[in-house]
Each structure stands twice: as structure tokens, then as C-alpha cells.
Amino acid sequence: MRAREFNFDGLVGPSHNYAGLSFGNVASFSNVKSASNPKLAALQGLAKMRALAARGFGQALLPPQDRPNFRLLRSIGFTGSDADVLAKAAKEAPVILACAYSASPMWTANAATVSPSADSADGRTHFTAANLNNKLHRAFEHAQSARSLRAIFHDIDHFAVHDALPGTPAFGDEGAANHTRLCKDHGSAAVEMFVYGRTEFDASASAPKKYPARQTLEASQGVARLHGLSAERTVYIQQNPDVIDQGVFHNDVIAVGNGNVLFYHDQAFADEAGSLDQLRRAMDGVGAELNAIRVDTGAVSVADAVASYLFNSQLLSKDNGKMALVIPQECEENAAVAAYLQGLVGSGNAVDELIHFDLRQSMRNGGGPACLRLRVALTDAEAAAMHQGVVMTEALYHTLVAWVEKHYRDRLDPADLADPALAIEVHTALEDLSRILGMPNLYDF
């Protein structure tokens, strides 16, 4: 069936801040407690959405989550009014207060794993909210993620939204950041590739030594079962433990795929040759030939890949049969990466265009273009059945820019998290946003 891919970008929230909470994410950790600019962050993200929508790519958004997370703070014993809770947390547990104010839901690649209707046994598009249980600041996100997804994909004849897997180490699930769909075209059956960092129930399996492996094999298998995926078209590949220890906390920091193209670093997988062989054999079954674009360490080191987020890019299919690579501005500022990319677009391979964006606010917090988006391939009927208020249009863009200008600060310091006025500002902004998007029950304030 004919299908179109929509990218659902996370709309950056009014309390965007740099708390440095994500051990293993080098960019996030290196900018801890710096002042942020929520207004600029949101406007940078909106500019990206607008530009891609104007090019004809399917573009929509996922709304921010409510902050601070008072449920987290009250669940660990902070009591009294909201102002009391913030004051006590700021004094007794400032790191936990920062967790409650985490900006990480903006990276919707971690919101869920998505299997389009062409891949599922029941012919519906399936979503499983990611439990993100490796980090306290992310472990509460799945409730609102599922709520938002159900509000957008509410038609149960077309969509199924599953709650998160059990929140235990055995089922650590980081969503689409470790999931890639490879196919002939978006509407045809695909090979779904799950990349995992460790195996919970095999003590002999290799694992990183410095940084945590956040995705487990068991979680990936659980999502595949929930989505009703065919065993013949599902491939599980282990991420290279050594690159996790170099700051590659998700697979989408070292590889990205689209259509039949897999753009990856030669150190991405624990068993490169075996992984590619699995993919080729599985793709034979869906009538597609794998186009593997391998980036050698000699051309781009892992350190340069992490610093520039070369692979945390978007591969987008164009009408001419070629693909555009959406990259952060940092790729053009890294000499090795810039040189490689110029050669890539001139090579005659699938990628013939680079589109770059200034996403500095997101990049400083540890997420690039691919982190900001959740990919959802939809048939025409499915696209018509989802909530239309989140689809990016020129009119919505201007409405949201005005909303950001009204509600967002242009500087947020770490000490501001203790200010009760900030919590009130966020709540007021999100109430206004739910009205703009036509989703009155989006938040459970």
C-alpha cells in the first residue's frame, strides 16, 4: 500500500535546561549546569519542522511534557504546597529537582518504538512507549508519552498504543533510538532491526565497562511480540560495547537507516559482518537489497562522530528516488566529517543532498536531528485518522512561534528551577498549547 513517513519532532518545553543528568551522554554531561535559552531552543526546533514540511516531507510534532514532575517529588516524600515542595527539593536534593525538570522528553526518538501496519500481524500501526528505566529523569516519561500518543493516534481500528514494558533492568527500553526499519518503500513490508547493548539473562555476553548499556535484548524481543512482528523479518543486532564506552549511548548516535539504506560506522556493531549478513538475508524476503554505506574509522573517528552527531541525522526519501541527509551544523564545523560528507554526496550513492540546521541548544544537551524525531509511516487512511492538530503547517508554525514568544524565557539558570514562578509559567503555557493543538485533555495536571 502507498504510505508516507511522518517525522514527529519533540516540541521543546518552556523549562529547557542543562542538568547533565545522562551519564554516558558526553554532550549532556559536559554542559552540566550551564545557562540555557528555552526560547531559542524551541524556535530552532520549529524552524527545522517548518523547513522540512515546506519541502513536502511529512512533519508533525509531539507536545512537551509537564514540568516539574511533582509526582516524582511527592512520591519520595516532599510534601506541602507546590512552592514548599520545590523549596525543600532545592535544599535537600537539588539533583532530584533537576530530574523533575528534565528537558529530555524533547527527544521523541526515545518516546516509543513504532511498527507500521505493513509489518504487524493485525494490520495496525503499533506503538510501545519506552520505559527509559536506566535514568531517573527519564523513567517517568512513558506515562505522558503513552497519553500523548493515544490522543494523536486515537482510532483503534488503525492504531494500537501499548504501555511501557515492566520497569526493571531486564527490560530496559530506549525506544526508536535503537530501532531501524529497512524496506523497499515505506508502504511495503519491512525488516525491523533492533539494536541492543546487553543481554540480561546471559552472564557470558559482552557488555560495556564504563557506560551503561541501556537497551536489552529482552526488551527488544518484548516489543517485537507486542507488535506482532514476523520472526523472519525481525533482526536483533548487538551494539559494539566499546563504542558505548566512547559515548555512543544509543544506536542512533552511530547508525541511521531509511528505505534500503543503512548508513553506519564500521565500529557500530559487535559483529559487523554477521550483522550485515543477517540483514541481507532478511531483506531478501521483502524484495529489497541492502545498500550499506560504511564509514571507516580512518575517515571519521568515533570521537568525531560523537562530537558532530554525524549519524544522529535524518535520512529522508525524496521524490527523485534519492535521499537527503539532515545534519546538525556541527557536522560542517568538524573538518573530518565535513570532508567525508562532501565526498558522500558526490559519490553517486543514494544520498545526494545535505540539509543542515542550527540545533545548538539541543546538541548541547546531547541530542541531534534524529533524537528530536519519532518516525511513523502511515497510509493515506491512517494519516487521515490521526489527530490533525499536530501536523506542521505554515499557519501552525506562526501560531507556535507566537506562543513561544509569549511564554518562554530567553535565559534559564540552574537556580531558576527552585522558583515557583517557573512552574506556574510552564503550566500556563501548556494549557494554552493544548488549546492551540485542539487536545483539551492532553495533560493530567
Give per-residue pLDDT as tens, 191-219: 999 999 999 999 899 999 999 999 999 99
State yes or no: is 174 an active-site residue: yes
- 416 to each of 15, 30, 35, 363, 428, how far by Cα in Å? 9, 20, 10, 22, 17
Active site residue 356: no
Q: Which of 126, 137, 158, 250 is catalytic?
A: 250
Please give the helix or strand (H or E) that residue 147 lies within, else none.
helix 141-152
3-state secondary structure of 327: strand
391 secondary structure, DSSP code: B
CA 275 distance to own-chain centroid? 23
In this structure, what is the dihedral angle of CA atoms 85, 90, 94, 99, given to the nearest 10 degrees? Answer: 40
Query: Which among 141, 174, 192, 382 is annotated as catalytic?
Result: 174
- How far is the C-alpha of 155 from the C-alpha of 158, rounded, in Å? 6
Do 107 and 372 meet the contact criterion of CB atoms below 8 Å apart?
yes
Contact between 60 and 6 under an 8 Å Cβ cutoff? The reply is yes
Query: Which residue, 402, 400, 409, is CA-closest to 434?
Result: 400
Q: Is the pTM of this model over 0.95?
A: yes
Tally: H helices and E strands in the chain: 16, 15
Q: How far apart are CA 387 and CA 385, in angstroms?
A: 7
Cell 540546521 found at: 357
Q: Is 371 a catalytic residue?
A: yes
Residue with cell 527488544: 220
Say which of 227, 371, 382, 407 is annotated catalytic: 371
Per the CATH hierarchy, to which homologous superfamily does domain 3-67+102-436 belong? Succinylarginine dihydrolase (3.75.10.20)
Q: ω before 68 within 30° of 0 (cis)?
A: yes
Cβ neighbours, 10 Å, residue 412: 25
Strand, helix or coil for residue 403: helix
- Hey, what's the cell of 364? 548541547
Amino acid present at 117: S
Q: Which residues in 11-44 are b (16+ Cβ under 10 Å) and which e?
A: bbbbbbbbbbbbebbbbbeebeeeebbbbbbbbb
Give the number of other Cβ atoms within 10 Å of residue 123's Cβ.
12
pLDDT in tens, the chain (445 residues): 799 999 999 999 999 999 878 666 655 656 667 899 999 999 999 999 999 999 999 999 999 999 999 999 999 999 999 999 999 999 999 999 999 999 999 999 999 999 999 999 999 999 999 999 999 999 999 999 999 999 999 999 999 999 999 999 999 999 999 999 999 999 999 999 999 999 999 989 999 999 999 999 999 999 999 999 999 999 999 999 999 999 999 999 999 999 999 999 999 999 999 999 999 999 999 999 999 999 999 999 999 999 999 999 999 999 999 999 999 999 999 999 999 999 999 999 999 999 999 999 999 888 999 999 999 999 999 999 999 999 999 999 999 999 999 999 999 999 999 999 999 999 999 999 999 999 999 999 8
Spatial separation of the C-alpha atoms in residues 62 and 144, rounded to whole Å: 11
User: Strand, coil or helix: what is 405?
Assistant: helix
Between CA 193 and CA 282 the distance in angstroms is 10
DSSP codes joined into one string, 174-242: -GGGGEEEE-SSTTS--EEEEEESB-TT-TTS---SSS----BHHHHHHHHHHTTB-GGGEEEEEBPHH
CA atoms within 13 A on the CB side of 78: 23
